[in-house]
Structure 1
């Protein structure tokens, strides 16, 4: 199954089901903007997919009436979304469920705020620029349509501010591999999955120090928990020495981390 984005909230995975419709172009492009749409209905994630089974259209994401997120198209691919070739190549499209139908086409606050948050994540993690009026668009930016609707037009400044707030949060945040299910230093914490004691202790150290000493642009799968590259990267960043090359923690690391015997 094709994986969804590494978002910090649950993302329902409908990528392969949308791909089966043929309504997506599996070719990667560099993304430089995010575009918001409305469903034109009070649709669930499955309801959106059902529409696209027969209508030659797609988008990367949908945010439903509760604020929950689903992904249909890989981020770097060409969704059939904005009615403009250049736009489909360069933008990440996010659909939103309507709260009411015509003529207002209102969208619930929880829906548009979660769409803005998702947009902010993409600006921080994919696009690499802060959201602005030059890169956060509605569908009608690209083609002749009223989408994302008159209500969303009225609150664009609020949407942009929410996306900018999310961008600032995600830009400053540092991913801590997990999950952490018990407080440090409980014994069972050291024996969850592939996580070694020194990885667990480093995790705790990063959390308690607010990640202030750990700065990295590496993708999470490069320094995720349990592998030697991860261990070596964390060791170097935190200034540890005296450990075996195979990732076995040496005395210096144990002393610095104050790891208890378990």
Structure 2
């Protein structure tokens, strides 16, 4: 595919197979959310290696050399911000890193760096969306927002804008101003109808050797496995206790008038109904004694 900012055509479309919501529940796109990927790689690798295996996604991934891959369609809701309200109203853009975590801190200057090509490309994609959906010139805090605004996270780390709650005590991350300057400059260029520059030239990402890439991505996979898997298992166990094996209720709780086993929720509802009837009977007996 040939990139076209006016029609929002990416370099490639490679959609997640699940972990997104069709449609936007009637909501309109209102802003762009910036993310850093906590991973070194292209959109295809993120979809196949992460998002198809855990409940997360974004609309776009900007690779370590600026390549633009769309992974969720604009009309659908990506699972990006840990906030249904925000997810239904945003276009989420992930920016690949070219280094991993360093010196024991996500916010160290050497941690989670992003190439200039990725910064420029991500800013231009955001500018194109601001123009296409009539969101106006990119303005931080209005039509450009950050992941940390919607949940407890440090994301997008060095892309973070100057806002209370980010990982830098409210100061902007080192890439924020460069990203915003390019987004505004490019928006003005697009709106003026000038020739769209070619996408950033692909070249080897600075500091991103194959060994370093695998080390960073192994760290990310280990984090996902260690942190999220126990939570998913716990949620699954809660679901099983409420719904019964395979969601077909518990035999020991009895059956409804259709011969189906009751779930825990069904059983509680039945008990409540019976208690209500017992109370009504008691009240009737009291009334007759008077």
Q: TM-score, normalised by structure 1?
A: 0.60
Measured in 2, the distance between the counterparts of 1:93 and 1:151 equals 14
For structure 2, which runs of at least 5 residues remain unmatched after alignment?
103-110, 161-172, 197-290
What is the match of residue 71 of structure 2? 72
1:67 positional shift: 0.5
What is the match of residue 174 of structure 2? 154
**CA deviation profile, 1:23-59 (whole Å, cap 9, x unmatched):** 1111133111101111111122221102101011110
What is the match of residue 21 of structure 2? 25
1:7 positional shift: 4.4
1:11 positional shift: 2.1
Contact 2:96-2:114 at 8 Å conserved across structures: yes
What is the match of residue 125 of structure 1? 132
1:91 positional shift: 1.0
Partner residue of 1:140 out of 139, 148, 172? 148
1:132 positional shift: 0.4
CA distance 1:131–1:146, change in 2 (3 Å): same
CA distance 1:8–1:71, change in 2 (3 Å): closer
Contact 1:34-1:91 at 8 Å conserved across structures: yes
Measured in 1, the distance between the counterparts of 2:143 and 2:31 equals 5
What secondary structure, in the 3-state scheme, does the structure 2 residue paired with 1:170 have?
A: helix
CA distance 1:8–1:94, change in 2 (3 Å): closer
1:10 positional shift: 4.6
1:174 positional shift: 7.7
Contact 2:43-2:60 at 8 Å conserved across structures: no
**CA deviation profile, 1:71-101 (whole Å, cap 9, x unmatched):** 0111132110011111101110001110110
Contact 1:83-1:143 at 8 Å conserved across structures: yes
Contact 1:32-1:127 at 8 Å conserved across structures: no
1:144 positional shift: 1.0
CA distance 1:128–1:163, change in 2 (3 Å): same
Alignment coverage as a number of residue pairs: 169
For structure 1, which runs of at least 5 residues remain unmatched after alignment?
177-262
Measured in 1, the distance between the counterparts of 2:145 and 2:51 equals 22
What secondary structure, in the 3-state scheme, does the structure 2 residue paired with 1:54 have?
A: coil
Q: TM-score, normalised by structure 2?
A: 0.54
1:175 positional shift: 9.4
What is the match of residue 56 of structure 1? 55
CA distance 1:111–1:175, change in 2 (3 Å): closer
Contact 1:65-1:111 at 8 Å conserved across structures: yes
Whose radius of gyration is greater, 1 or 2? 2
CA-based RMSD of the aligned residues comes to 2.3
CA distance 1:174–1:75, change in 2 (3 Å): farther
The ranges of structure 1 where at least 4 consecutive aligned residues each deviate by more than 4 angstroms after the TM superposition are: 4-10
CA distance 1:110–1:163, change in 2 (3 Å): same
1:154 positional shift: 2.2
CA distance 1:118–1:5, change in 2 (3 Å): closer
Contact 2:42-2:67 at 8 Å conserved across structures: no
